[in-house]
């Protein structure tokens, strides 16, 4: 689905060179997450602020919401469906309760031990995932485009922590 819900900004038009697209995305990230702290239900939201040499001076938290891992090569590759929805992330985090948004906690297994908070815009196939502690640590955001992802989220929703 390419149309934005009425309560969210439009998705980004990602045109131009990769450098131009990256500059646009990073401007959104800086404006929405670096200039002013974000909160979800009064809990501060943090992201991975580490900057690695291969990260072009940009934080790991940024790369995790605009790219996906290529398991065959081990590097992160641009994910345009994920990246174009970056302007949705902060409004979803800060949104009051809405029927369009499923917010739930799920106890993860041994690999990702602990409670994860999900903010799922189900009808638009976009999800934000956080590690829940005394704060929320933003792990990733992505557009659901693979077989099984929607079913996996539905299962997690049904098994959510009450």
SS3 for 12-75, per residue? CCCCCCHHHHHHHHHHHHHHHHHCCCEEECCEEEEECCCCCHHHCCCCHHHHHHHEEEECCCCE
Q: What angle do CA 129, 137, 96 make, to 5 degrees?
A: 65
CA nearest 153: which of 100, 117, 99, 110? 117
The C-alpha atoms of residue 156 and residue 142 are separated, in whole angstroms, by 16
Look at residue 1 in the predicted model and tell me its pLDDT. Answer: 43
Cα–Cα distances (Å) from 93 to 41, 65, 78, 98, 136, in that order, read 8, 14, 23, 12, 10
Strand partners, 119: 103, 128
Look at residue 128 in the predicted model and tell me its pLDDT. Answer: 98
Q: How much is the pTM? A: 0.92
Look at residue 69 in the predicted model and tell me its pLDDT. Answer: 86
pLDDT in tens, the chain (162 residues): 457 788 999 999 999 999 999 999 999 999 999 999 999 999 999 999 999 988 899 999 999 999 998 888 778 899 999 999 999 999 999 999 999 999 999 998 776 688 999 999 999 999 999 999 889 999 999 999 888 899 999 999 999 997
Burial class (CB in 10 A: 0-12, 13-18, 19+), 140: middle
Four-residue CA torsion sign, 5, 22, 112, 74: positive
Within 10 angstroms of residue 145's Cβ, the number of other Cβ atoms is 12
């Amino acid at each position: 689905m390419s149309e934005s819900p009425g309560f969210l900004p439009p998705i980004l038009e990602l045109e131009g060179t990769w450098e131009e697209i990256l500059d646009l995305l990073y401007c959104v990230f800086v404006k929405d997450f670096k200039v002013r702290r974000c909160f979800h239900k009064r809990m501060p939201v943090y992201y991975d602020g580490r900057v690695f040499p291969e990260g072009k001076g940009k934080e790991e938290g940024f790369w995790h919401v605009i790219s996906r891992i290529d398991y065959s090569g081990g590097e992160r590759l641009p994910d345009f469906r994920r990246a174009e929805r970056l302007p949705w992330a902060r409004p979803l985090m800060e949104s009051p309760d809405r029927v369009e948004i499923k917010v739930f906690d799920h106890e993860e297994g041994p690999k990702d031990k602990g409670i994860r908070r999900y903010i799922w815009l189900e009808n638009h196939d976009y999800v934000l995932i956080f590690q829940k502690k005394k704060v929320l640590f933003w792990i990733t955001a992505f557009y659901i485009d693979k077989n099984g992802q929607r079913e996996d989220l539905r299962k997690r929703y049904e098994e959510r922590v009450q």
